[in-house]
Chain A
Amino acid sequence: MAEDEAVDPILPEFPTARVKKIMKLDKDINKVNSEALLLISCSTNLFLQFLAEKSAEVATANKKKTVKLDHLRTAVKRHRPASDFLLDSLPIPAESTQSAARSVTDRDRSRPVSNKPAPAGTRRIDHFFRKPENEAPIS
């Protein structure tokens, strides 16, 4: 019965050194004792298991075999404590960036300026940013 085996029977594979590094990223954190490190590792493990489980449920409900970012996002949205701190950190999904890019190119031609003709006696604002062609030079 080697003592080495009993070193970390609770979480044999969790990278506690990395967890400690992540905790220390926050400069306000002074010291963390070994119990705290253990409990954070355990709870992070539980949290990831939870996310994996819920994401898989969403994927299955959508009849997909591959768990994707959207499934993860939906799972996070449905869990109040997680969504409070996590939703803003999730990356924008590729599909919606593509559609956003499309709509931007569509809008490019008539950007925020409306297509309505300017009222008489006034100039469209984008005239200021165009080289004056027919206008008299300022003296």
Chain B
Amino acid sequence: MVDEEERLLQIANVGRIMKQILPARAKVSKEAKQTMQECATEFISFVTGEASDKCRKENRKTVNGDDICWALGALGFDDYADAIVRYLHKYRELERDKATLNKASCSRTSRDKDEEEEHSSEEKSDHQPHQQTQAPTPSART
């Protein structure tokens, strides 16, 4: 059914992560690297499973970013939760910028129209109210 290799992260990735962390002269046994692959899979399954259970209890079908954040905290990985939340905000910011860039490059003719659309899309994409950055309201519009 599922290829044994497909249930593990590629060993090259694991090796790279270890190399980044370990001192330059340190070596890692093949067995340890292979075990790290297993650890990664276990971690992914563990956290995703927990997040998925929460979704099911709340009658939701799709696991989202907030569910993952919650699961990390619930399972004792609070240290990661802070870093992860920062990643999430950065990701959302990038997505918003991408959307803005796309819109700007698409229609250059009617700029007024663009500004109105940007303003409304910003309101839509900001899910978290505390994060919402209000675009400066155009002062004099005719």
B76 touches A81 (CB 8 A): yes
A101 within 8 A of B: no
What residue of chain A has the Cβ atom nearest to residue B90's Cβ?
A10
Interface residues on A, range: 35 or more
Stretch of A30-38, A105-113, A114-122, A123-131 that contacts chain B: A30-38
Mask of A2-32 contacts with B, CB within 8 angstroms, 1/0: 0100100110011100110111011011111
B29 within 8 A of A: yes
A48 touches B17 (CB 8 A): yes
B26 touches A67 (CB 8 A): yes
CB B46 to nearest CB in A, in angstroms, measures 5
Select A86's contact among B39, B47, B55, beta carbons within 8 Å.
B39
Stretch of B64-72, B107-115, B118-126, B131-139 that contacts chain A: B64-72
CB A116 to nearest CB in B, in angstroms, measures 43
Those of A59-111 within 8 Å (CB) of chain B: 59, 65-69, 71-72, 76, 80-81, 84-86, 89-91, 94
Identify whether the interface residues of B are mostly helix, strand, loop, or mixed: helix
Asked if A26 meets B52 with Cβ closer than 8 Å, knowing A47-B80, A67-B22, the reply is yes
**Residues on B with beta carbons closer than 8 Å to the beta carbon of A49:** 17, 20-21
Distance, CA A84 to CA B50, complexed state (A): 14
B65 touches A38 (CB 8 A): yes
B63 touches A22 (CB 8 A): no
B31 touches A47 (CB 8 A): no
- Give me the interface of B with A, judged by CB distance under 8 Å: 2, 6-10, 13-14, 16-18, 20-23, 25-29, 31-32, 35-36, 38-49, 51-52, 55-56, 61-65, 67-69, 72, 75-77, 80, 83-84, 87-88, 90-92, 94, 98, 101
- Give me the interface of A with B, judged by CB distance under 8 Å: 3, 6, 9-10, 13-15, 18-19, 21-23, 25-26, 28-33, 35-36, 38-40, 42-49, 51-53, 55-56, 59, 65-69, 71-72, 76, 80-81, 84-86, 89-91, 94
